Amino acid sequence: MNTFSLALRNLLRNRRRSLTTLLAMVIGLSAILIFGGYARNSIFALQTGYVQLHGHLQIQHKNYFLYGSGNPAAYGIANYGKIIDVVRHDPELVPLLTMVTPKLQLGGIAGNFAAGVSKSVFASGIVVAEQNQMRHWDDYGSVALSIQYALTDTPQNSVLIGTGVARILQLCEPLKVENCPPAPEPTRSDGNAAPDDIAALSALESRNAPTAHSTAIEMLAANVHGAPNVVGLNVVKAENWGVKEADDSLMVMHLGQAQKLIFGAAPPQVTAVQIQLHHTNQIPQARARLEALLATSFKDAPLELLDFETLTPIYGQSIQFFDSVFGFIATLIGVIVLFTVGNTMSMAVVERTTEIGTLRAMGQRRGGIRALFMCEGLLLGLMGAVLGVLIALLIALAINHSGLTWTPPGYAYAFPLKVRVWGDPGLIFECAIGLVVVAVISAWWPANRAARLLIVDALRHV
């Protein structure tokens, strides 16, 4: 206690230099905590979006994830109804579940014969009410402004399309899509607006078909037997899906309509059974139980279980990016603190050389001198950690109540901008302890040099 008392008095002896050093430590720690809280919130926001879209876990046909996205008929799950029923009523899984719902992914060609245009598309067949309920999942309080699928209480032939699909199919005006300039007439060497066969097919379709709604389109896909199948659809809305590639190709329709297009009169199938849990940390428990069910109740079916991180590799890549940036910032600030505290201690050793010699002449051992200066570094680290955490919490509180929003990559809707410092004790503890350790290490070299001074040389220092 006497050593700590002397260390504190020595710091107060030169208040301006101690305050400058302390300020550098406080600013550095606050910056690390603010960025760490921002990174953590960004990761949670991304996770929220992916879990709303894909669920925490998916049961798929084996190898569908790698090879089956373009062939739903070959990689479909035939007995999906039984799987859903078993999962929903399993005593161990029931307390964990938020939603269990089927989904069918398929590809095809969407056409607007009235305009003579078509576009290859990728469609999702969903149970609308269940998917909309999944999009309410918000375990981290992100208050995501997630879009609800506008297919509730619509006929089975209703469909949502991306704004890019609407633009290409020339449906911007009837769907009231903003920022959608009219398509120019294609320039062809023969002067026709479209090839003769396409024009003839369009004319035949126009004569034979009943009067269509201005948002009516057709979709062509290969059925389970490999033959082409066409259904008429009515576009109820064009949504901005957030990514141009998805916006130019993605459609969402009722599951029954998608199954009719692919399987016709054959037994319907799906490409995935999505499972959403109450909390992400329940994934290991749910995975263990689901794998046990697949190995027993459905051992004859070629099924596999995938989590949302596997389904969306960009999530793990985003975590790695934030971790690398956080590590770079922490290292940079650590180096600054290292040299700042080291410089402060070195100046103190020079100024107090005679005092050191006097203490040594009075019987103070080298270890006592070394401990004195290291205690000064420790006190600087502790005060910097406490003040840095308090200031970071105040800054985070101001940001969280500012009303600012941000749109994560790949999203069309905004999330409130939050900095999660208070709710992350691990981040606070690790950063604060790291600052104290750096401060003590910074003080060690000057303290060791002071302890090794010869008494005679120290006493005659001017």
For 129-165, write each residue's pLDDT tens digit. Answer: 999 999 989 888 766 556 788 899 999 999 999 988 9
Whether residue 196 has pLDDT greater than 70: no
pLDDT at 403: 82
Residue 116's contacts (CB-CB under 8 Å, 6 or more residues apart) are 193, 194, 198, 199, 202
* 210 confidence band (pLDDT: 50, 70, 90): very low
Q: Quick one: pLDDT at residue 161? A: 92
Alpha helices per DSSP H over 55-188: 80-88, 128-134, 163-168, 172-175
Between the alpha carbon of residue 124 and those of residues 28, 131, 177, 443, the distances in Å are 48, 11, 21, 62
Task: Note the pLDDT of residue 252.
Answer: 94
DSSP 296-311: HTTTTS-EEEEEHHHH
Which percentage of the chain shows pLDDT scores above 70?
90
Count Cβ atoms below 10 Å from residue 361 Cβ, excluding itself. Answer: 12
- In the predicted structure, residue 453 carries a pLDDT above the cut 80: no
Asked if 241 and 247 count as a contact pair (C-beta separation under 8 A), the reply is yes
pLDDT above 60 for 194: no
Mean of all residue pLDDT scores within the chain? 85
Segment of 355-364, 370-379, 383-392 carrying the highest mean pLDDT: 383-392
Phi-psi map region of 403: left, alpha, beta (phi>0 left; psi -120 to 50 alpha):
left
Check if the beta carbon of residue 228 is closer than 8 Å to that of residue 108: no
Q: What is the pLDDT of residues 355-366, one digit of tens each?
A: 778 877 877 787
* Per-residue pLDDT at 144: 58
Please state, in angstroms and rounded to a whole number, the distance separating the CA atoms of residues 61 and 42: 32
Distance CA 267, CA 288 (A): 30
Q: Helix, strand or coil for residue 23? A: helix
Q: How far is the CA of 425 from the CAs of 100, 322, 430, in angstroms?
A: 33, 18, 8
| Residue 20 structure tokens | 């400058």
Q: Which residues contact 454 (CB under 8 A, 6 or more apart)?
A: none
Residues in CB range of 199: below 8 A, 6 or more apart? 116, 192, 193
* Tens of pLDDT, residues 244-301: 788 889 999 999 999 999 998 889 999 999 999 999 999 999 999 999 999 998 988 8
Q: Where are the alpha helices (DSSP H) in 14-72?
A: 15-54
Q: Which residues contact 31 (CB under 8 A, 6 or more apart)?
A: 329, 333
pLDDT for 394-430, tens place per residue? 999 999 888 888 776 666 666 778 888 887 888 999 9
The sign of the CA dihedral 410, 414, 419, 424 is negative
Tens digits of residue pLDDT in 112-132? 887 888 889 999 999 999 999
Question: Which neighbouring-strand residues pair with 121?
Answer: 108
